[in-house]
Amino acid sequence: MRVLTLAGCTAGAVIGGVSAAAAYGSVSRSSQLFGPSVFRGPGRRRTIALTFDDGPSESTLPLLDYLHREGITGTFFQCGMNVKRLPQIAGRVVAAGHQIGNHSYSHARLTFKSKEFIDREFTLAQQVITFETGMTPMVMRAPYGFRWLGLRDVQYKLSLLGVMWTVIGYDWRWPAERIRRHVLSKAAPGGIICLHDGRALQEKPDVSEMMKALRQIVPVLKDQGYAFEIVSDLMQE
């Protein structure tokens, strides 16, 4: 009985350790467990990347206008279903010189999903984005930042680099002033800022607090001597 109990405890400890490792690998911004991923650039230049998730949406248009006025290019991680619904807006993102990233097809949480499900989510999104915009994504971001088994395989299949973030604005729940303070407190050379121009698959999402915060963040960063780059350029030495 004692041996069985010990074996049971040992098995439990192993399972617990594996679960802890999987949980860490799923959400840790520096983890490479589920595929090659970055959360910042080398930082040898005073540059920073603005990234926007969950689009395209109707709310992407005023964001594009603002970035154009400021002379800024960013990286937009787009959902395939949103691109399919609003192909003209997705096309305008590309036409404005921004980088497009793969943010899955349906914005599903990947944890505990099968490898086949994860492959389908990113392969279908890649096909839709490429067809509708003429641009093939080279970067991807998992919805909610949650990664899982099978993601590495699809990244290699589609030649996608995973991108996390240096700072996320929590702009789906925080007011503009708190977003501004948080982002600016974490800004540093080579940093990747994560904001949202959509809300998963929601139509006409309200991103007004993000826009208010962005209009305050950008002038401060410019005054501090920062320039803005797309993620692929930010990663260059």
Residue 30: what pLDDT?
Answer: 85
The chain-wide mean pLDDT, for the chain, equals: 92
Q: Among residues of the chain, what percentage have pLDDT more than 90?
A: 86
Q: State yes or no: pLDDT of 184 exceeds 80.
A: yes
Q: State yes or no: pLDDT of 177 exceeds 50.
A: yes
Strand 75-78 to strand 47-55: parallel, antiparallel, or no bridges (unpaired)? Answer: parallel
C-alpha–C-alpha distance, residues 113 and 111, integer Å: 5
* The CATH number fitting domain 32-234, selected from 3.40.605.10, 3.20.20.70, 1.20.810.10, 3.20.20.370: 3.20.20.370
| Contacts (Cβ under 8 Å, ≥6 apart) of 150 | 113, 114, 115, 116, 117, 118, 119
Strand 167-168 to strand 47-55: parallel, antiparallel, or no bridges (unpaired)? Answer: unpaired
Q: Tokens 């962005």, residue?
A: 214
pLDDT digit string (tens) for 75-85?
999 999 999 99
Coil, strand, or helix at residue 11?
helix
Residue 6: what pLDDT?
Answer: 47
Look at 26-40, 138-152, 215-229 and tell me which has the smallest mean pLDDT.
Answer: 26-40
DSSP state letter for 224: T
C-alpha–C-alpha distance, residues 237 and 41, integer Å: 8
> Are 80 and 198 contacting, i.e. CB atoms less than 8 angstroms apart?
no
Side chain identity at 212, as an amino acid letter?
Answer: K
CB atoms within 10 A of CB 104: 24
Coil, strand, or helix at residue 171?
coil
pLDDT band at 16 (very low <50, low <70, confident <90, very high): very low
C-alpha–C-alpha distance, residues 109 and 153, integer Å: 17
> Are 160 and 152 contacting, i.e. CB atoms less than 8 angstroms apart?
no
Q: How far is CA 99 from CA 96, 106, 185, 223, in A?
A: 9, 20, 25, 24
Q: How confident is the model over 43-53, as a mean pLDDT?
A: 98
Partnered with residue 8 across adjacent β-strands are none
Among the listed residues 149, 75, 160, 165, the one whose alpha carbon sits nearest the alpha carbon of residue 122:
160
Give the angle 168-31-10 at the CA atoms, nearest 5°. 125
